[in-house]
Structure 1
Amino acid sequence: CTIESDPGIFTELVEQMGVKGVQFEEVYSLDSDSMRELGEVHGLIFLFKWQQNLAQSDDRPTASDYEDHLFFAKQVITNACATQAILSVLLNSEKVELGEELTGFKSFTKEFDAELKGLSISNSELVRTAHNSFASPNPFVSDDEKRTATKDDDLYHFIAYVPVAGKLYELDGLQKGPVLLGELPAGADWLEAVQPAIQARIERYAGAEIRFNLMAIVASKAEALRAQLAALPAGDVAAAELQRQVDLEEQKRARWKAENVRRKHNYVPFIVNLLRELAAKQQLVPLLEAAKAKQKQRTAAAGARK
């Protein structure tokens, strides 16, 4: 995938698509208390290192007769699994305000099969523009020079977990169809039901891999806090604490925005001009030689400690 797994990136990504009232939060623990602290969760997206042998050994059956209540799309383009996993959650939630364009997209593709839904995602100008705004470009490699990943590369993949129509699903665009993880009885906490499935996927690596990331798509915390604050009677002692929490959420959003501006900025012209000025002042080569000398010292010191 070409998009960094980061809550600030994903939150701005869906907002660019017109989605309102949601944000992303990293999940650091699968225990029930940590899950409850998330508040209302629309779905989970899980990042893991994709390995062909493990993928081929996954013999779980995929569901059928789901088209009337579940949006599932095949991943037909490479490096877009993050965006596809996010859409798998958003387009399966009845509580998310999708915005006009995504609502129209969901309605337009309702009768499509999984392959055609995947093609529709790849051809959506809205989705493509939002995704490409966060894709990691390499300014020194042209599109013609970009290569396909090989078996020696580390490949990472996103999948989604969602509760839909009283059932718990795992949605992976590389699978033939959705994987039904189980029925959800009335009043059941789907976040508790999904924990064994995520834990089992992690344990398949038998301790050889620790690079995982779990993200929750949740209701906007700032909006929920403002609603609670507005409902309090005048002079309520709880108002100060709620306002403090609102301020913290707003500060987090401002930090996300600043970080995203830096991510999107093209620093190459600055670096090129800096190197040009250093060369013009006869400082570039001495700095380069000094850096090489320091690296040799570090290498020698590291070798002596072994």
Structure 2
Amino acid sequence: MPGPYRKHFIPLESDPEVFTRLLHKLGISPDLRFQEIYAIDEPDQLPHPALALVFIFPAPAAYEVQKAKEDSGSSEYAGGDDQDVMWFKQTIHNACGFYALLHSVCNGPAKAYIQPGTLLGRLMDTCRSLGTEDRIRVLEDSKELETIYAEAAREGGTPVPGAEEEVDSHYICFVKSTGNSHLYELDGDRKGPVDKGFVEADDVLAEESLNVVKQYMQDAGLGHGLMALVSDSAR
């Protein structure tokens, strides 16, 4: 993915077990986990409630052109603790999986599962009131984050590409704001959060959210994947 990258990570495999292990190492309660979603046509068969969704899809050049066009009329996200959602600009190459994971746990009900004193707990305490550029520096300067991430990125079942290699897939996150009850697309490669409209239920696998995700799946074509962040009590 193109962008003003100042650091490079090994790409994270789109495996819910890899994501879950990284989640727990960063400091989220063991009560949360990622679960693969194979089909969304039967809502009763999905895990409810879902706290966040991570969407993985091929990102050809045409996608980058379309994204730039959509963002051309948008203002840059300013950061601070008065925003409807917490968003991080991606400046670490090949780390879109990590940013999707971070966005999924720093927003909505998942925030309550961040354990105090852990790396993620400290990052949240530090970044909550910061502007975009200062949040960037916090993530880039954390050696502890880099070490934990590198360990998780090497635990997948496929060959590990180099940190500076270009990969074709991209990760984004969908969360519901606890402030205004709107669904947001969170992609660190954009100018900021993208508001996708009001969602009544406290579940990002609710009907309104599923309609949004279905459109993304249709646009992405073959090769996409979907993971839900759920608690052990999800049915």
Deviations 1:245-264 (A, max 9, x none): xxxxxxxxxxxxxxxxxxxx
CA distance in 1, matches of 2:114, 2:90: 21
SS in 2 for 1:12: helix
**Per-residue displacement from partner, 1:87-110 (whole Å, max 9, x unpaired)?**
101011344421223222112111
Tell me the TM-score normalised to structure 2 length: 0.77
After TM superposition, give the deviation of residue 199 of structure 1 in Å: 2.0
Matched, 1:97 2:113: yes
Tell me which residue corresponds to 1:51: 60
Segments of structure 2 that go 5 or more residues without pairing to the other structure are 1-9
Residue 48 (structure 2) pairs with residue 33 (structure 1)? no
What is the alpha-carbon distance in structure 2 between the residues aligned to residue 116 and residue 81 of structure 1? 19
Q: Alpha carbon RMSD of aligned pairs, Å?
A: 2.7
SS state at 1:216 partner:
strand
Q: Percent identical across equivalent pairs?
A: 26
Q: Which residue number corresponds to residue 22 of structure 1? A: 32
Residue of structure 2 in register with 1:161 after alignment: 174
The structure-2 alpha-carbon separation of the partners of 1:79 and 1:8, relative to structure 1 and needing over 3 Å to count, comes to same
CA distance in 2, matches of 1:76, 1:147: 13
Conserved? CA contact 2:56–2:172, under 8 Å: yes
Cα deviation for residue 172 of structure 1 reads 0.3
| Structure 1: gaps (5+ residues) | 226-306
Q: 1:147 to 1:181 in 2, by over 3 A?
A: closer
Structure number with higher helix proportion: 1
Select which of 124, 136, 149 maps to 1:118.
Answer: 136
Correspondence for 1:179:
194
Q: Report matched runs for 1:224-239 at 5 Å.
A: none
Is residue 139 of structure 2 the alignment partner of residue 127 of structure 1? Answer: no
Q: Is the CA contact (8 Å cut-off) linking 2:37 and 2:226 kept in structure 1? A: yes
Query: What CA deviation, in whole Å up to 9, does each residue of 1:65-102 have, x standing for no partner?
Result: 77513110100010111111001010113444212232
Q: Deviations over 1:195-227 (max 9, x none)?
A: 22222222224xxx4111100010025xx79xx
Asked whether the 8 Å contact 1:73–1:116 carries over to 2, the reply is: no
For 1:161, give the aligned amino acid. F
1:115 deviates by: 3.5
Match in the other structure for 2:99 = 84
Contact 2:51–2:204, Cα closer than 8 Å, also in 1: no
- For residue 108 of structure 1, what is the aligned residue in structure 2? 126
Normalising by structure 1, report the TM-score: 0.60
What amino acid sits opposite 2:169 in the alignment?
Y
Distance 1:11 1:189 in 2: 19
- Given residue 217 of structure 1, which amino acid in structure 2 is its aligned partner? L
- Relative contact order: is structure 1 or structure 2 higher (C-alpha 8 Å, sep ≥ 6)? 2
